[in-house]
Amino acid sequence: MIAMNLTVIIPVYNEIKTIGEILRRVKAIGVAGEIIIVDDGSTDGTRDFLKTLEGDPTVRVLLHERNQGKGAAVRTGIQAATGDWLIVQDADLEYDPRDIPALLVPVEEGIAEVVFGSRFLGGARRPILFWNMVANRILTFLTNILYNNILTDMETGYKLFPRKMALDMPLHARGFEFEPEFTAKLLKRRARIFEVPIRFNPREYSEGKKIKMKDAFVAVWSLLKYRFVD
């Protein structure tokens, strides 16, 4: 699978409690030829941990001097990546790196250009945050109406895609609106997307979850805007 030349991009903001564990899990699956960690202005000690990674040949650390948002961190990672295929791995343990090999399969079989890991196709999940689930369903439904598709999870953080496709695409998102912008532009370009089930372990807001309900309204605006402009 390493023959696919995969880069895993890990955007990080104040995740000192989980960054070490998520890095260990990504390395353990053995499919990442390159791991890029983009620290988005952390102030909780995350940067001190990242300094200990100097000399690790599989990890590159990039730093934002101030917090700019997840979308900005992902875009920095895309620009810096050298792998032919990219996937974004959140640092908060909600997504399990053991699912990444399953996302590679449709590409290896030549039936997909892009693969989404869907949290709503029957994978194991922690049953909490009902209203977040409702918001995700509504955003996916709106995406399908606007772009004539049948996705089950537009907002998923697990999207496997070719680096060249992302570099050829004008991306502007600085925050959590990265997912709707990227999805909208994939669908407008008629990228061949497959979905595979993934497990999901969402954390509570008391545990550090950062996305808020207001971000859903930003996502709606992004979906509407990018339906008509690029």
Domain 2-228: top CATH class: alpha beta
The crossing angle, in degrees rounded to 10, of helices 214-228 and 130-147 is 10
Q: What is the pLDDT of residues 101-129, one digit of tens each?
A: 999 999 999 999 999 999 999 888 788 77
Structure token digits, residue 76 = 């920095």
Q: Which helix (H) or strand (E) holds 140?
A: helix 130-147
pLDDT at residue number 137: 94
Domain limits of the chain? 2-228
In this predicted model, what pLDDT tens digit does every residue of 127-150 receive, in sequence order?
877 888 898 899 999 999 999 999
pLDDT-based confidence at residue 2 (cuts at 50, 70, 90):
very low
What pTM was estimated for this model as a whole?
Answer: 0.92
30 backbone φψ class: left, alpha, beta (φ>0; ψ -120 to 50)? left
> pLDDT-based confidence at 207, cuts 50/70/90?
low
